[in-house]
Structure 1
């Protein structure tokens, strides 16, 4: 199922596809048996980064004499004629799952293509002097890493593009570089958050006049991940591990934003201007007091989870597109925003979720003194856990305002002022069977568990 309309969020019911997953795993295993370089690299990636080789695959090319269109159709893959592909290939995607695309070719070679965040960094760490096809800062670049008999290992870099044709002449490369710099240097501190949200929307609208929304989106989130990482030590540690093999954050699963009720529709407007489409909505009930809108970009393979305080009577309306009335009570999300600011502005992402080997990364990060909270999802098809929260200092004027409104107690005021409070996380996530969704009950549990008024730091 592909996202089409925010007003039909309740229609999203993501299913499991174990047969399709097994089909892909079989072909990857055969490929690794036939390419020793890829086999060694796969082992190194999994050992050094606590991730799964499967989650680093951008797409796979299979010969038509090995796999037929009918077989792909039986596994749920659908031909996508709208995507740009080489003339001798056809592309198939699974609309209801997270599986990577499969291309059928009239040729004889099987090819696995990886997706490092930056291709030049990946090649640098391999140290073999591989050449890159496609323009720097172009929408699609590629390098062949290993060609053994009929098995090819390659890697690509995408910057706002979901096709499969090299960018022979990146006519917008200069504008893209300027957009990157603008997003890295954009103003994030505003006295009036509403003014800041409006300024951010205007900035993005102006950039979309020079670049496609997909290109702007890619530049925007590269800057967002860096900003989050610089404020999160677990993210820095894990990024360094992934950078040692040159992969960066190519394994990101979703980016989570928190916002005030007053600015939630502005946040959604910003993302829709970038080309995001709304998927499912969540409402956790009166006690939990939160809601969320999931969004997905159809060209950039980026998913967003946007959190907001929500009231029981608001669950029946499209709260992403109708302004929410102001309330005196602050839930977990609202309090976090009052303490630190809007995620779109000075606070940055609440967390980045990336795909890992769930058990291995918990153990490996523990060796580096990074603790992981109790899992809030633990199903065969979906496992999720936050690293222990990063402690952020809180501006005294924010605490004064909260205390004057009776939103926090005197004891909480003094604790937050002295010690700081819960800031951001890295989310450890593992998906199997192609599951694309989230579990509402599990998310409700972690929302409540990370309320700054209740959260206890490990060892405290």
Structure 2
């Protein structure tokens, strides 16, 4: 991939495609009181929209529909058992030819079994897919010629026309546990990256890259969630509907400049591709490499202190020159450690009904949200108030020794701690797949631990 390609971020909006999908989803709600009630419950109990969870639709097929989909930006998937179209340039569910007169809407969940337990849907109907399979699904609600099915995917997207064989359950459980409980505290971060790499390689040998990636990030979300109250509150709300974190949009890691290439190397081992580079501007002093694992449906924002000159290089692979000053990302790392290791993710961003989620979290969980840092017709974003973490004395002493904080700032970190992590609330419209490239500096400055002290 060329340097120019790595800076592309001109994602398009597709209002006509969005209307097409919304109209199709509305038909399911109109033809089934149960589906309509389910959509209402998602809105009022989790602050999400039914569309935020849709995996794909199976609808009555015709040549005219196929042509319409192409006009809307969809492309056919080869080797599918029935006509199947996906939209590579935007965030829309796939559309597939129905196998019968019944049309089906598939909704993503973390676990079909958990969903059925919570919703208490007819337990006599078996789940399609073996325990531990990469894809499992089952009908949940029906109506007049329509059905809603819940589906869980583990490294096997809708475009994967031949699901992998079900792995050995003992090996699956062993690797899931090893990744979830991996050691994170090391005297040298290099040892931590090497340890994680060894666990990942062992899992890949038994389970393959895509299933390992799915397991790894399930563990990452668990670790982050234990360190963020807003996340635990929202997860409980979504679990009460049987949904899990299947509405995740992207995972964000903050990295030191020294180990940024090690971080990207681990993610490339897990099957990630470089998607685009992000630079917030000279004043912000930071940037990110956006990477994507298309089979596991994971997107990562990897944040690092960055200068204007460095954005033109392949900073995902070319080592940075070390420097003495710290930006917001660098200070966070020095206070808490690498996001990949001790600290855990800086934030998980999920798709919501923006206003509903913020209002419900405030009313039901006393969770405050910061001022939105993106408020556009097609993209809205806001952090929950930062979770405050205590700072180890050794980290404070190290910053003092290097002349990077004052004694007064050190005392405040001892007394008050420092901002650690957030849950991010996001709403996308018109299939927009990108991120806000302007006006982002203010929110990063607001999450600077020194700003918090002031």
TM-score, with normalisation over the residues of structure 1? Answer: 0.94
Counterpart of 1:248 (choices 230, 244, 247) is 244
* Structure 2 counterpart SS, 1:278: strand
Deviation at 1:412, TM superposition (A): 1.1
Deviation at 1:78, TM superposition (A): 0.4
Give the conservation status (yes or no) of the 8 Å contact 1:224–1:349: yes
Q: Cα gap change, 1:134/1:167 in structure 2, threshold over 3 Å: closer, same or farther?
A: farther
More displaced 10-residue stretch of structure 1: 409-418 or 284-293: 284-293
Deviation at 1:168, TM superposition (A): 9.4
| Residue matched to 2:226 | 230
Give the conservation status (yes or no) of the 8 Å contact 2:179–2:199: no
Deviations 1:127-167 (A, max 9, x none): 12253111112100011112334201101111111146696
Q: Cα gap change, 1:405/1:373 in structure 2, threshold over 3 Å: closer, same or farther?
A: same
Deviation at 1:123, TM superposition (A): 0.6
| Residue matched to 1:72 | 69
Mapping of residues 302-317 of structure 1, within 5 Å: 302-317=298-313
* Structure 2 counterpart SS, 1:155: strand
* Structure 2 counterpart SS, 1:315: helix
Number of aligned residue pairs: 450
Give the conservation status (yes or no) of the 8 Å contact 2:43–2:356: no
| Residue matched to 1:198 | 194
Deviation at 1:362, TM superposition (A): 1.2
| Residue matched to 1:363 | 359
Q: Cα gap change, 1:174/1:339 in structure 2, threshold over 3 Å: closer, same or farther?
A: same
* Structure 1 counterpart SS, 2:207: coil
Counterpart of 2:382 (choices 376, 380, 385) is 385
Deviation at 1:203, TM superposition (A): 2.3
2:312 is aligned with 1:319: no
Deviations 1:312-370 (A, max 9, x none): 22121011110111111011001101100101101000000001110111111111211
Q: Give the distance between the partners of 2:187 and 2:210, measured in 1 at CA.
A: 30
| Residue matched to 1:153 | 148
Deviation at 1:20, TM superposition (A): 0.2
Q: Give the distance between the partners of 1:71 and 1:286, measured in 2 at CA.
A: 44
| Residue matched to 1:8 | 5
Deviation at 1:12, TM superposition (A): 3.4
Tell me the C-alpha RMSD between the 2 structures.
1.8
| Residue matched to 2:131 | 136
Deviation at 1:15, TM superposition (A): 0.4
More displaced 10-residue stretch of structure 1: 203-212 or 341-350: 203-212
* Structure 1 counterpart SS, 2:83: strand
More displaced 10-residue stretch of structure 1: 132-141 or 384-393: 132-141
Give the conservation status (yes or no) of the 8 Å contact 1:142–1:166: no
Deviation at 1:442, TM superposition (A): 3.3
TM-score, with normalisation over the residues of structure 2? Answer: 0.95
Q: Give the distance between the partners of 1:171 and 1:267, measured in 2 at CA.
A: 28
Give the conservation status (yes or no) of the 8 Å contact 1:6–1:279: no
Deviation at 1:113, TM superposition (A): 0.6
Mapping of residues 113-128 of structure 1, within 5 Å: 113-128=106-121
2:94 is aligned with 1:101: yes
Counterpart of 1:21 (choices 18, 28, 38) is 18
2:175 is aligned with 1:179: yes
Deviation at 1:100, TM superposition (A): 1.2
Deviation at 1:311, TM superposition (A): 2.0
Deviation at 1:421, TM superposition (A): 0.8
Counterpart of 1:292 (choices 288, 291, 313) is 288
Q: Cα gap change, 1:387/1:168 in structure 2, threshold over 3 Å: closer, same or farther?
A: closer
2:433 is aligned with 1:436: yes
Q: Cα gap change, 1:52/1:162 in structure 2, threshold over 3 Å: closer, same or farther?
A: same
Q: Cα gap change, 1:102/1:6 in structure 2, threshold over 3 Å: closer, same or farther?
A: farther
Q: Cα gap change, 1:253/1:6 in structure 2, threshold over 3 Å: closer, same or farther?
A: farther
| Residue matched to 1:348 | 344
| Residue matched to 1:408 | 405
Deviation at 1:287, TM superposition (A): 2.3
Q: Give the distance between the partners of 2:89 and 2:39, measured in 1 at CA.
A: 27
2:334 is aligned with 1:338: yes
* Structure 2 counterpart SS, 1:208: helix
Q: Which 5+ residue runs of structure 2 have no aligned equivalent?
A: none
Give the conservation status (yes or no) of the 8 Å contact 1:354–1:429: yes
